[in-house]
Amino acid sequence: MRGGGWARSRILGLTLFAAAIFTFGLTVHSGYLLGMAVLIALHALVALGLGLLMGWAGQISLGHAGFYGLGAYASAILTTRFGLNPWLALVLGAVGTGLIAFAVGKPTLRLRGHYLAMGTLGLGLIIWTVFNQAATWTEGPSGIRDIPVLSLGGLALDNDQRFYWLIWPVVLVAVMLAGNLINSRMGRALRALGENEGAAAAAGVDVARAKLGVFTLSAVLASIAGSFYAHYVTFVNPSPFGFALSIQLMTMVVVGGEMTVWGPLVGAGVLTVLHQVLAISAQRIPAMEGLEVVAYGAVLVIFLLFRPQGLVAPLRRRGAPPRAAEPPAPRADEVVGEAS
């Protein structure tokens, strides 16, 4: 019965989502709004993978901007230097990024604690330094331009509208696959992980392998999003792929809520819109100028204070502690003490 209910709500969710994509795409013709929608989609793809990692494997990553950048640079270099087909470049980039993530995840994910966070932090910054320094390949800080646009069946996806119709269906498929994953055997293992790593291990779940799998998957998703970014903007330089973006992506997941596939999507949308609202208000009223950055941070802090579980909280898990990953609910015991 539970399985049936889940499937029904999932189908409903996906249908509504698809309908929303179609309605927006058909009714909106403003390049600005479509452009924003594309940016949201790109970030949502990365956030989706990050959400799986955070919500279902209880790990955080501070280096996903690096994986996003690896995809972008792989596409940029392979297409402009070697004239590779953009789609092939996208796949190669994703495979390469996956291998790198695997290599870094394997040793760090064996450990308990937030070692993956530290490892990815280091990795992200190393990748960023390489983008800047390996000028023979990356052209350094001044970046690679004239990256070809993607084309589908002879149709060049060279404007916001066309790109919208590519990227949002991709997001839809990614959400669908993520949903499948959560419901699969591996998904159940991951959920067990989120709840109690020790119990999961005792029940025969290969904890390290499951974590490594989801981490690699999230890196691959980030790389694919990065490739799309490169072909959308047709220019890449290192600065968008720094530490700040890694943090922004994490923020999207936390704000959206990490226990459902929809949370990261909502987070990406809300934060991008918030950014724009603040930018527009700074443009309109001089007193707001410079304040928009402060306001962004303040909104984030206040939001987390009042809704730490994220906008899209999981329905079935209400009442359960948000997540009992390590360190094992350090504050819960004190709350009990305070209340009594």
The residues in 289-328 that bind another protein, with binding defined as CB under 8 A, are 289-302, 304-306, 308, 322-323, 325-328
Q: Which residues pair with 144 in a beta bridge?
A: 236
Give the three-state DSSP class for 120.
Answer: helix
Return the ∠ at Cα 111 (arms to 108 and 112), rounded to 5°.
130
The 8-class DSSP code of residue 151 comes to E
247 part of the interface to another protein, by CB under 8 A: yes
Q: Which is nearer to another protein, 5 or 327 (CB)?
A: 327
Count helices and strands in the chain by DSSP H and E runs: 15, 2
Which residue of 212, 214, 233, 261 would you call a contact of another protein, by CB under 8 A? 233
Q: Do 256 and 43 meet the contact criterion of CB atoms below 8 Å apart?
A: no
Q: How far apart are CA 231 and CA 158, in angstroms?
A: 9
Q: Which residues pair with 155 in a beta bridge?
A: 152
CB of 288 to another protein, least distance (A): 6
CB of 8 to another protein, least distance (A): 30
Q: How far apart are CA 198 and CA 185, in angstroms?
A: 18
Q: Which is nearer to another protein, 132 or 183 (CB)?
A: 132
CB of 68 to another protein, least distance (A): 11
Structure tokens at 291: 């304040």
Site for another protein in 156-185 (CB under 8 A): 158-160
Which residue of 80, 216, 237, 260 would you call a contact of another protein, by CB under 8 A? 237
Q: Which is nearer to another protein, 30 or 184 (CB)?
A: 30
Which residue of 41, 57, 186, 254 would you call a contact of another protein, by CB under 8 A? 254
CB of 14 to another protein, least distance (A): 28
Site for another protein in 114-143 (CB under 8 A): 114-115, 117-119, 121-123, 125-126, 129-130, 132-133, 135, 140-143
The piece of 11-19, 152-160, 166-174, 210-218 that touches another protein (CB under 8 A) is 152-160
Give the Cβ contact number of residue 156 at 10 Å: 11
Residues 6 or more apart whose CB falls under 8 angstroms from that of 158 comprise: 149
CB of 32 to another protein, least distance (A): 4
**Amino acid identity, position 147:** I
Q: What is the per-residue binding string for another protein in 184-223, x denoting contact by CB under 8 A?
A: ----------------------------------------
Q: How far apart are CA 41 and CA 330, in angstroms?
A: 35
The 8-class DSSP code of residue 58 comes to -
CB of 248 to another protein, least distance (A): 9
Report CA dihedral (86, 88, 90, 96) to the nearest 10 degrees. Answer: -140
Q: Which is nearer to another protein, 6 or 243 (CB)?
A: 243
CB of 259 to another protein, least distance (A): 11
Q: Which is nearer to another protein, 139 or 205 (CB)?
A: 139
Structure tokens at 302: 């206040």
Q: Which is nearer to another protein, 220 or 236 (CB)?
A: 236
Q: How far apart are CA 211 and CA 29, in angstroms?
A: 42
Residue 116 sits at φ, ψ, to 5 deg, of -65, -40
Return the ∠ at Cα 288 (arms to 246 and 41), rounded to 5°.
35
Site for another protein in 3-42 (CB under 8 A): 30-33, 35-36, 39
Site for another protein in 31-90 (CB under 8 A): 31-33, 35-36, 39, 54, 60
